[in-house]
A and B are shown apart, each in its own frame.
Chain A
Amino acid sequence: MFDYQTYRRWTDRTMVFLCGAAAFIAMIPLVSLLAYVIIRGVKRLDWTFLTSIPTPVGITGGGMGNAIVGTITLVIIACCVGLPIGIMAGIYLSEFGKKNKFAWCVRFTADILSGVPSIVTGIVAYTLIVRPMHNFSALAGGVALGFMMIPIVTRTTEELVKLVPHSIREASWALGVSQWKTILNVVIRTARNGILTGVLLSIARIAGETAPLLFTAFNNQFWPHGINEPTASLTVQVFTYAISPFKDWQDQAWTGALVLLILVLAVNMAAKLFFKNPRQLLR
């Protein structure tokens, strides 16, 4: 006869094993991806790659210097759009929006906005900027990325400013400091590292975006001369090269991916150095 106790014991063991196995199997794609990007990427990785512009097919050499500059430009524009709105809105939510309907709406909208597909944000930026200005531009790409930053920065700023103990505010008020000066000089200063972490994490997220750039910043084979012209970015360049039929370009795509990965993971790591408990931010 089948023993119920044995059945229970074996179900337990099997399920516990399966849970552990799931964690183990999830590591396989990660390891494979990282290993491949590194192995195939280092082949072309040298100073020329980082500092020169792409060459036409068939001519060896060339690199993604302009794309690296482009990505940095786009991130800076995105920060100009996203950070003021995100940080100020985050301060509002944590300091003035504990229990009111407007704040609830904003919080909910921010959560929903962070779920809007990035390609849709691209269409919005295209319609608002590229179309009226009649050309693809770094400005449009940066604004699209900035839109994506806003909800992330808002929510992380809120979470982190909330962590500042209330007693610190009371201490400041007790000295006769007004509320807004308390927020700027005491609360924000205390939460500074946390806010910086949130900002860095959102930068890491948008720096790796391709979809919203395809028809806003577009692409460019030359060094950028301003923000009002099509601009290359690492991600779009990797995409273009990856789907091309040329071996040399495909190799460059891997190297571009390696550079991109190093940038993104480095910003991620830096974010975690500033703040010890980043788990609550990674939503």
Chain B
Amino acid sequence: MNPSLDATKDTQIEKPLPFFSQMSQAGFGDKVFQKLTAFFAFLILFLACMTAFTLWHASADSIHKMGWKFLTTSDWDPVQGVFGAIPYVYGTLMSSLLALLIAAPFGIGISLFLTELAPQKLREPVAFLVETLAAIPSVVYGLWGIFLLAPFMREHIDPLLIKYIGGPFFKGPSTGLSLFTAGVILSIMILPTITAISREVFESVPNSYRESAKALGATNWETIQLAVMKPSKVGLLGAIMLALGRALGETMAVTMVIGNRPEVSANLLGASHSMASVIANEFSEAVGDIHVSALAEIGLLLMVITLLLNIAAHLLVWFTTSKFQR
């Protein structure tokens, strides 16, 4: 039995030198160290399982009591013990989709600008500023949203939307605290995510693609279309899905500007609610165990949605960025 053979098998040496394993005097220490680090790595898997199990356990009461009605009704009355999650799910999905509609074109435009078009001197500073957006705490976004963005939307943007688009989607009067404002603030918050990932995807496209397009006489934009965007389609989808995952779970900024009224309405200028914000608002003041359990179930639902999105997105991003690295 040679303990160090086992240890060297997994290291970065593709072909261990034949005498190395025999010469190693400290095979035991190596083995212990490897097992120790593996244990800590295992703790991550454990943490994931524990998160899932804890949430499921915490929401068991509510799952048992409400069953599928939790997902199909829209009454939320903690005092009566009736819980339906539809308004929250609706608010979360709508605000996140709105955020994507705004942030995706901007994010992709910015990363194209940064990887393909901008003069070399401009790239790093602009990238740095966009990344700074990611470093700002969400509660600060919320504060800015309440005192600056919401009044600005109420005074300047919303009247224009009502006047020129109108219809069921933009109905006044607007208070500024609305689904639409939540979407706008979320779009600012997920912009760095979209930009960073799509930039990575664009940068993984080999230069020979661009050169071929240019050699055929393509303009800058045609090069981008043919040689940059086309091969990175799947990766961009991944970037957008990761950003969507982030938007779905965002709590503070949304809570502060969405208006916190559980309502399903097509009117984007009306107050709404979201899954994360109902948890933030009610959890510490919950009436009774069943209420806590229902809120935990909303958390469970939120986690399942973001989990599925994240799994799909990571697979897509890995797939595209590794495609060119053969």
B299: interface (CB < 8 Å): yes
Asked if B55 is at the interface (CB within 8 A of a chain A CB), the reply is yes
Whether a CB of chain B sits under 8 angstroms from the CB of A246 is no
- Identify the B interface with A (CB < 8 A): 4, 7-8, 10-12, 20, 23-27, 29-30, 32-34, 36-38, 40-45, 47-48, 50-51, 54-55, 57-58, 105-106, 109-110, 112-114, 117-118, 126-127, 129-144, 146-148, 188, 191, 196-197, 200, 219-222, 224, 242, 245-246, 248-252, 256, 276, 279-280, 283-284, 295-296, 299-300, 302-303, 306-307, 309-311, 314
For A120-152 the 0/1 string (1 means CB < 8 A from B) is 111110111000000010000000000100110
Establish whether residues B252 and A178, one from each chain, have CB atoms under 8 Å apart when the complex forms. Answer: no
Assuming the A-B contacts A113-B47, A116-B306, are A96 and B143 also in contact, with contact meaning beta carbons closer than 8 angstroms in the complex?
Answer: no
Chain A residue contacts of B32, Cβ below 8 A:
180
Chain A contacts with B in 220-253, Cβ cutoff 8 A? 235, 238-239, 242-243, 250, 253
| Residue of B whose beta carbon sits closest to that of A113 | B48
Choose one: B41, B110, B147, B220; the contact of A93 (CB below 8 Å). Answer: B41
Contacts of A179 in B (CB 8 A): 4, 7-8, 11, 24, 26, 30, 33
B109 touches A23 (CB 8 A): yes
Judge if A59 is at the interface, Cβ distance under 8 Å: no
* A43 on interface, CB distance cutoff 8 Å: no
Contact B276 A22 (CB under 8 A): no
Could you pull out 24 A-B pairs where Cβ atoms are within 8 angstroms?
A: A11-B219, A26-B129, A85-B44, A88-B40, A98-B11, A112-B310, A113-B48, A113-B51, A115-B242, A115-B309, A116-B307, A117-B303, A120-B55, A122-B283, A126-B283, A154-B44, A169-B12, A178-B26, A210-B252, A242-B142, A242-B256, A254-B143, A260-B137, A265-B135
The smallest beta-carbon distance between B45 and chain A, in angstroms, is: 6
Given the known inter-chain contacts A96-B38, A183-B33, A210-B139, please indicate yes or no for A112 contacting B58, CB distance below 8 A.
Answer: no
Asked if A47 CB lies within 8 Å of chain B CBs, one says: no
A180 touches B30 (CB 8 A): yes
A119-B251 in contact (CB<8A): yes
Do the beta carbons of A211 and B37 come within 8 Å of each other?
Answer: no
CB distance from B198 to the nearest CB of A (A): 12
Contact of B38 among A8, A29, A102, A120 (CB under 8 A): A102
> CA of A242 to CA of B139 in the docked complex: distance in angstroms?
9
Separation of A215 and B302 alpha carbons in the complex (Å): 18
> Are the C-beta atoms of A37 and B40 separated by less than 8 Å?
no
Say whether A123 contacts B55, CB under 8 Å. yes
Q: List 5 additional contacts besides A37-B140, A147-B51; criterion CB under 8 Å.
A: A16-B221, A22-B106, A100-B10, A123-B58, A239-B139
Residue numbers of A with Cβ under 8 A of B are: 8-9, 11-12, 15-16, 18-23, 25-27, 29-30, 32-33, 36-37, 40, 84-85, 88-89, 91-93, 95-100, 102-103, 105-106, 108-113, 115-124, 126-128, 136, 147, 150-151, 154, 166, 169, 173, 176, 178-181, 183, 204-205, 207-211, 214-215, 218, 235, 238-239, 242-243, 250, 253-254, 257, 260-261, 264-265, 268, 279, 282-283
Q: Which are the 9 A-B pairs with shortest beta-carbon distances?
A: A117-B249, A208-B137, A178-B26, A22-B109, A180-B33, A88-B40, A92-B37, A115-B310, A211-B251
- Give Cα A96–Cα B288 distance, bound, in whole angstroms: 48
A238 and B143 contact, CB distance less than 8 A: yes
Residues from chain B with Cβ under 8 Å of A110 in the complex: 44
| In the complex, chain A residues whose CB is within 8 Å of the CB of B45 | 105-106, 109
When chains A and B are docked, how far (Å) is the Cα of A254 from the Cα of B30? Answer: 53
Bound complex: CA A16 to CA B222 (Å): 11
| Residue numbers in A under 8 Å from B34 (CB-CB) | 92, 96, 180
Q: Which B residues are CB-close (under 8 A) to A238?
A: 139-140, 143
Closest to B300 in A: A120
Indicate if the CB atoms of A112 and B48 lie closer than 8 Å: yes
**With a CB–CB cut-off of 8 A, which chain A residues contact B311?**
112
Do B118 and A112 have beta carbons less than 8 Å apart? no
**Which of B26, B136, B295 is A261 in contact with, Cβ under 8 Å?**
B136
Find out whether the CB atom of B143 lies under 8 angstroms from the CB atom of A116: no
Q: A115-B245, A119-B279, A183-B33 are in contact. Are A214 and B118 (CB under 8 A)?
A: no
- Residues in B with CB closer than 8 Å to A98 are 10-12
